[in-house]
């Protein structure tokens, strides 16, 4: 049982370092000096009797104890954040209109939506397909740009693409080198250029797989991959949960930069301030916060 709030400061410092990947980023996030961050973490490690970070000249890596604490703190801080927002926002009423790219809506939006609805229990939310994205929306979650005026926040500019499949398929038909793709089905989602782009990055030209399957969007391609139908192109954001759970695995060690970042677009930013601005700000911040952990 903690007896002092100074330990909470140390926990926040450790969490900021683990989440942001470095002391400088954590110091900027918490508006303190890097020396203060290092001091708090040293104190925390001494009190816990466990090393939380492996330090080198350029990088910090979580130990097993540090990774476990980071995951637990994430859940605990989410609960604290939720409690504070619920107390503050119980009386906030209104309607939020959100347009979203289909794969993101299917694979990442629902947990974010659940948190938002808990924080704003008196708010109605309407979610629209990305084709409906226009100036009437409060928030647009788009892969790449949209011809809609408004403020933009680019998320995970370093997102990557990679080949992925189910572990069962990989066990039955191993993929140790690019030539092994000849025995497999390639699943295509939104863009038929994703596989050719990946093959060019591998130094290979076209390669003839056993079969091609073309699906309407990336969500269906990844669902087919999880079902063992073939290999799909995954991405950092869309596959984060499935890679953590083991439903999908990366193959071949190939990764290329995604052609576009995801954008959170705020079309109504220039309109007179109203209650929807608070809701849209909260929803956009929640998206960025949750995807920061991808």
Strand-pair partners of 154 = 263
Q: Write out residues in the chain with pLDDT < 70, as ranges.
A: 1-6, 20-21, 56-59, 79, 81-92, 156-158, 204-205, 268-276, 292-294
**Which of helix, strand or coil describes residue 165?**
strand
Phi first, then psi: what are they for 11, rounded to 5°?
-65, -40
The whole model's pTM is what? 0.59
Residues contacting residue 183 through CB under 8 Å, at least 6 positions apart: 173, 209, 210
- Considering the segment(s) 90-157+261-291 as one domain, its CATH architecture is 3-Layer(aba) Sandwich (3.40)
Q: What are phi and psi of 154, to 5 degrees?
A: -85, 130
Give residue 292's pLDDT. Answer: 63
State the DSSP code for 105. Answer: I
**Any idea where the domains of the chain sit in the sequence?**
6-86, 90-157+261-291, 160-257
Report the distance separating Cα 179 and Cα 168, nearest Å: 20
Tell me, what's the pLDDT at 5?
Answer: 47
The values of phi and psi at residue 186, to 5°, are -100, 125
Predicted pLDDT at 119: 82
- Cα separation values, 130 from 143, 152, 257, 294, Å: 10, 16, 23, 22
| Paired sense of beta strands 262-266 and 123-129, if any | unpaired
Strands (E), 65-195: 94-100, 123-129, 139-143, 151-155, 160-165, 185-188
Identify the helix (H) or strand (E) that includes residue 265. strand 262-266
CATH code: domain 160-257 is: 3.40.190.10
Report the CATH number of the 6-86 domain. 1.10.10.10
6-86 and 90-157+261-291: identical CATH topology = no
In angstroms, the CA 121 to CA 125 distance is 11
- Report the pLDDT value the prediction gives residue 96, as an integer from 0 to 100: 85
- Give me the pLDDT at residue 169, please: 92
């Amino acid at each position: 049982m903690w007896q002092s709030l100074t330990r909470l400061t140390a926990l926040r410092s450790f969490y900021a370092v683990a989440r942001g990947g470095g002391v400088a980023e954590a110091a900027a996030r918490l508006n303190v000096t890097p020396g203060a961050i290092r001091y708090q973490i040293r104190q925390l490690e001494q009190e816990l009797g466990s090393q939380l970070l492996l330090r080198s000249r350029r990088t910090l890596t979580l130990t097993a104890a540090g990774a476990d604490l980071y995951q637990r703190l994430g859940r605990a801080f989410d609960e604290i954040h939720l409690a504070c927002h619920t107390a503050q926002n119980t009386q906030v009423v209104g309607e939020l209109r959100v347009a979203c790219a289909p794969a993101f809506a299917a694979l990442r939006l629902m947990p974010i939506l659940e948190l938002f609805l808990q924080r704003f229990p008196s708010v109605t939310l309407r979610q629209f397909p990305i084709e409906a994205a226009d100036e009437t929306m409060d928030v647009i979650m788009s892969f790449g740009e949209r011809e809609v005026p408004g403020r933009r926040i680019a998320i995970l500019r370093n997102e990557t693409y990679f080949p992925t499949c189910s572990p069962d398929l990989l066990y039955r038909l191993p993929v140790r080198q690019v030539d092994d793709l000849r025995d497999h089905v390639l699943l295509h989602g939104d863009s038929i250029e994703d596989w050719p782009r990946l093959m060019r990055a591998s130094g290979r030209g076209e390669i003839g797989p056993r079969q091609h399957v073309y699906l309407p969007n990336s969500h269906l391609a990844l669902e087919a991959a999880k079902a063992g139908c073939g290999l799909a192109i995954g991405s950092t954001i869309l596959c984060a949960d499935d890679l953590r759970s083991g439903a999908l695995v990366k193959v071949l060690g190939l990764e290329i930069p995604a052609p576009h970042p995801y954008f959170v677009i705020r079309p109504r930013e220039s309109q007179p301030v109203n209650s929807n601005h608070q809701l849209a700000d909260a929803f956009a911040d929640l998206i960025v916060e949750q995807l920061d952990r991808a």
